Amino acid sequence: MGILESILLGIIEGFTEFLPISSTGHLIVASEFLNIEQTNITKAYEVIIQFAAILAVILNYREKFSIKKIELWKKLILAFIPIGAVGFVFSSQIKAMFDIKIVAIMFIIGGIVFLIVEKFYKETEHHIDDVEKVSYKQALYIGLAQIFALIPGTSRAGSTIIGAMLVKLNRKAAAEFSFLLAFPVMCATTGYDLLKHYKDFTDANFIVLGVGFITAFFVAYLTIKLFLKFLENFTFVAFGIYRILFGTILLIWFT
């Protein structure tokens, strides 16, 4: 992998990680188009850019990373437990699903789900507008919805946002809960991958890793801010349409 590929994948990771369009799906597709072989060194690179995305969340929500917010983090940990447990038990089966066709189908299904939810979703003053007001029960339901993200192409952000909207969070609060929930999820997955692939860093090009890290961090940081601005005036319909179009193109291209 060269500098250009590192920048492109860093942009894709940073831009798609927190949007409901599946970062994993886009990285799989991008790797196919760029003919990037899935080696252990490539996996080490993915660990680095995911870590960059985690830091972007911390910087954007640094006021939430405080002992004073322990109640919020109890709820986030509760929401993390379902995907953590299922992901650990069925890790080999999940890896077996990493296929372009599955990614494409899940893109389309996810897009249809977004359009259906938005069709019937009506934001009212009774909807929760602050992540700290989320109840333990709502947090658990969001966590259960997040399990669907284990299927490549589904989108962790997408499944949690849909789950949050269904338990009566407004769009902005749903997105912010998804951002914060990414922290324990990505810490767990990145930490696990780091333990598995730490030896591969000895053979890695640290300039390439550094470029990818910086790119992913700044793009993720800006994406979070712009996404919240977008939700002040728009719904998730555009993302639903994009998912359906992108998934359809993938099916046509690869079948």
* Per-residue pLDDT, 188: 87
Non-local (6+) Cβ contacts of 95 within 8 A are: none
pTM: 0.90
Using CA atoms, how far apart are residues 42 and 65, in angstroms rounded to an integer?
Answer: 31
* Per-residue pLDDT, 31: 82
Q: Tokens representing 126?
A: 């009774």
Indicate the domain borders of the chain. Answer: 3-254
* Per-residue pLDDT, 34: 81
CB atoms within 10 A of CB 92: 7
Helix or strand or coil: residue 91? helix
- Do 14 and 215 contact (CB within 8 A), yes or no? yes
Q: What is the DSSP letter of 169?
A: B
- CA dihedral in degrees (37, 39, 43, 49; nearest 10)? -40
Q: Which amino acid is at 63?
A: E
- Do 192 and 149 contact (CB within 8 A), yes or no? no
* Per-residue pLDDT, 203: 64
Give the closest residue to 49 by CA, choosing from 197, 220, 203, 181.
220
Using CA atoms, how far apart are residues 90 and 85, in angstroms rounded to an integer?
Answer: 9
The alpha-carbon radius of gyration of the chain (Å, integer) is 18
Angle ∠(138,139,145) on CA atoms, nearest 5 = 90
Q: Tokens representing 155?
A: 């989108």
Non-local (6+) Cβ contacts of 57 within 8 A are: 18, 179, 180, 182, 183, 220, 224
β-partners of residue 128 are 169
Q: What is the DSSP letter of 20?
A: T
Q: What is the DSSP letter of 204?
A: S
- One digit per residue, pLDDT tens: the chain, 255 residues? 788 888 999 999 999 999 999 887 888 888 888 887 766 667 777 778 888 988 999 999 999 999 999 999 999 999 999 999 998 888 888 888 888 889 999 999 999 999 999 999 988 877 999 999 999 999 999 999 999 999 998 999 999 999 999 999 999 999 999 999 999 998 888 777 777 766 666 666 778 888 999 999 999 999 999 999 999 999 999 999 999 999 999 888 876
Using CA atoms, how far apart are residues 189 and 145, in angstroms rounded to an integer?
Answer: 18
